[in-house]
Structure 1
Amino acid sequence: MRIDAHQHYWRIGRNGHEWPTPDLSAIHRDFLPADLAPELAPLGIARTIAVQSQPADADTDWLLDLAANEPSVAAVVGWCDVRARDAPARIAALAARPKLRGLRPMLQDLPPGWILDPAAAPALAAMAEAGLAFDALIRPVHLPDIAALADTWPSLVIIVDHGAKPPIAAGRLEPWATQIRDLATRANVSCKLSGLTTEAAAGWTPDDLAPYVRHLLACFGADRLIWGSDWPVLRLAGDYAQWFEIAGQLLPGIVQQDRDAIFGGNAARLYRLDAAYHD
């Protein structure tokens, strides 16, 4: 079963909306399941994982309500203020919702070290106990933090979003390549093959992405790499079918079983989607 492991829904001006801003005209409008359905069907993608887009409880609650009535959404990755005093209680309540399978604290614009503050420890313990995945929305500067997090919480499933946003537009591999290789030595860390086109320069070609995709495959292997579209953010730099096809082309030399894992099986396992289907 093909699964899009990373896509977003939002309503402008509602549910804690802060982004996208009006200057991003290609995505500054409501995006809902009816908008995504025509992209999924031609590619045989049966299920998606809807990921929060706003650092707001209202966004997560709305996504969970939407998912409860939308069969195509297999799971939700929500948001929680993991350093709030009531975070463990909030996480327990969210974990009781049928399709909540992970949380994403949106570290990309927070200073390095933020997630390692002792104030976050109770929330991380609650996530690990509940079996929730930790989606790491980060930039390369945060990679050492995620390595430390993985070492401290070996039972926590950590999934790095967008390959940690490597400097594709600048054409640089280091120090990202060395740091992501080091992070991948932690068995509890996986990585999403998503969001790379929006890190590339305007007019990008598959050759611009190839070194980064191949490095991620070499580091995480076919059993810990997960394809996602990052739709509708993807619309800023390309289209859905284009990224699906290019991602497949940039994974040469892998057997069909491994390809099936990257494009669906790994997401089902790491986000416990069988349980979501039966809730």
Structure 2
Amino acid sequence: MLSFAHINNSIFAKSPPFRTAAKRLFHAALSQRMKIIPISVLEDNYSYILVDDKTKEAAVIDPVEPSKILNVLSQTGAKLTSVFTTHHHWDHSGGNVELVAKKPGLAVYGADARIPEINYVCKDHEEFKLGTLTVTPLHTPCHTKGHVCYFVLDPATNERAVFTGDTLFIAGCGRFFEGDARDMYRNLFHVLMRLPEDTWVFCGHEYTRANIKFALSVDPHNEALLAKAAWCQDKTITVPSTIGQELLYNPFLRVNEQALKLAVSKSDPVEVLNTLREMKNSFR
């Protein structure tokens, strides 16, 4: 089983977020090979450390606060070799220059020339390795034209995770800054929703409570959404979710459902998605 640690309050969890977490950062009995450490940065961003525990190779995803990242990394015993940047916005790529200066020789992955220090341009679905882990970049242009999600597979355990940046959030999706609703529909339904439902979802921001508040305004009788709302009330970190969970309560993934079509008075799923995003943009 994949393991993950909640760093901002030093809670380690080796099971899904709906279960009790242990109170230590690491546990000596762990045998998992793929470890993911979410780190709260800036006001509401997430950076992540991804470790292949077999080879002790590590990558960081969107490391906007390098000093904090390196402090946590030092506790893992892993060697940092790579940076996975989801997109060029400062709150995701703004730490690249400092991190590369502190750790020369890093492979900096991305798909946008605007990403600082990029030296490996990701091609859509062109796999590469982090130790024994297989990493597949998924091009998801819309929030930005060069946005990439990173799908990670541990071949030994079949454990899977996807780092979705600002494309997919828990109970939400990103704004269409450099694309439109048709682009986002493709990203969600033809890319991310084709991943296995047990794939862990690690998004770029802690927006969950605000997203759920909006979701309840358009889908108030959704039992899965109501349960998620109750679960997250006392949580400071709500990642990860799974693809399967998001299909149950994320309104932007339910645009083919009659309840959401009625809520926005649209029938075409792309129009439903566009209307929901416009409503969310002004929702308070």
TM-score using structure 2 length: 0.34
The structure with the largest alpha-carbon Rg is 2
Which structure shows the higher helix fraction? Answer: 1
TM-score using structure 1 length: 0.34
Pick 1 or 2: higher relative contact order, CA cutoff 8 A, min separation 6: 1
